[in-house]
Amino acid sequence: MRKVRTINQDNYILSLTKFIERIEFLDFSDSNSTYLFRGQDVKGSLLPSIARSDPKEDTTDQEKEQLHHLKLIGSNFLEGNSENDVDLLVLAQHFGLKTRLLDWSSNPLIALWFACSGRKEGDSYVYALNSDAFLDKNIYSKDPFKLGKTSVLQPRLNNERIIAQHGWFTLHRYAKSNSKFVALEKNTQIKKYITELTISQKSREDILKSLDRYGINSRTLFPDLEGLCKYLNWKDESA
């Protein structure tokens, strides 16, 4: 018999108002608590782009080689952003290179925009992560390919997109004991700190329009000509 998946109605989002109300129910009682948010159009699979096609593949050598080529070929683009491999990974991630970083935002509305602006069909998802226990404040002094555990990374604010998107990252390790990258929702240490919110397919366009009224759109999140053109296309299509 086919198993029917049930949905937690408290976490089923039909409007921007419902989303904000649900976010406010998260445990913000500790003023020092840092919640991060990620929006995506697939359920689970909280893996970095380098690991999605085959989590069992150890891509360490491949990633190091990519950074080596980035330094050689793209040196005129790097300027002061190449102090170490962590900085390089952050920069490369934002411009499309597959890395072991997974994007998050400290602003839940930005995560909601990313959840709603993807594919046209199906529900989408926002994940909230209570990150305090996993924040590594000394990450920039470490080799990102030799971490003992998956960690939260607060990036330097030296990139316009990071600033606009209130960007943070999880830096994932290849677990040699399991011979794979482990998705966050399956990570025994992290999964209990994750909350999943389901964004209703039928509400996505209305939510995007609501977010636009509050200044959350491709023009503000991608502060360049490409972001503006995408915004103008969306405004024309949704008119």
Residue-wise pLDDT tens digits, 17-43? 999 999 988 866 555 678 999 999 999
Task: Quote the percentage of the chain above a pLDDT of 70.
Answer: 91
Stretch (H or E) spanning 65: helix 60-73
| Residues 164, 89: Cα–Cα separation, whole Å | 18
Give residues with Cβ within 8 angstroms of 185, minimum separation 6. Answer: 44, 45, 46, 127, 191, 194, 196
Helices first, then strands: H and E counts in the chain: 9, 7
Q: What pLDDT, on a 0 to 100 scale, did the predictor assign at position 98?
A: 95
226 Rama class: left (phi>0) / alpha (psi -120 to 50) / beta? alpha
| Residues 229, 78: Cα–Cα separation, whole Å | 25
Q: Considering all CA atoms of the chain, what is the largest pairwise distance in Å, rounded to the nearest integer?
A: 59
pTM of the predicted model as reported, rounded to 2 decimal places: 0.90
* pLDDT beyond 80 at 187: yes
Q: What pLDDT, on a 0 to 100 scale, did the predictor assign at position 80?
A: 59
In this structure, how many other beta carbons lie within 10 angstroms of the beta carbon of residue 177?
Answer: 6
Name the pairing type of β-strands 167-171 and 101-105: antiparallel
Quote the mean pLDDT of the chain: 89
What tokens does 141 get?
A: 């002094």
74-83, 124-133, 149-158: lowest mean pLDDT where?
74-83
3-state secondary structure of 55: coil
Residue-wise pLDDT tens digits, 142-160? 999 999 999 999 998 888 8
| Residues 216, 110: Cα–Cα separation, whole Å | 7
1 pLDDT band (50/70/90 cuts)?
very low
203 within 8 A of 123, measured Cβ to Cβ: no
| Residues 87, 90: Cα–Cα separation, whole Å | 5
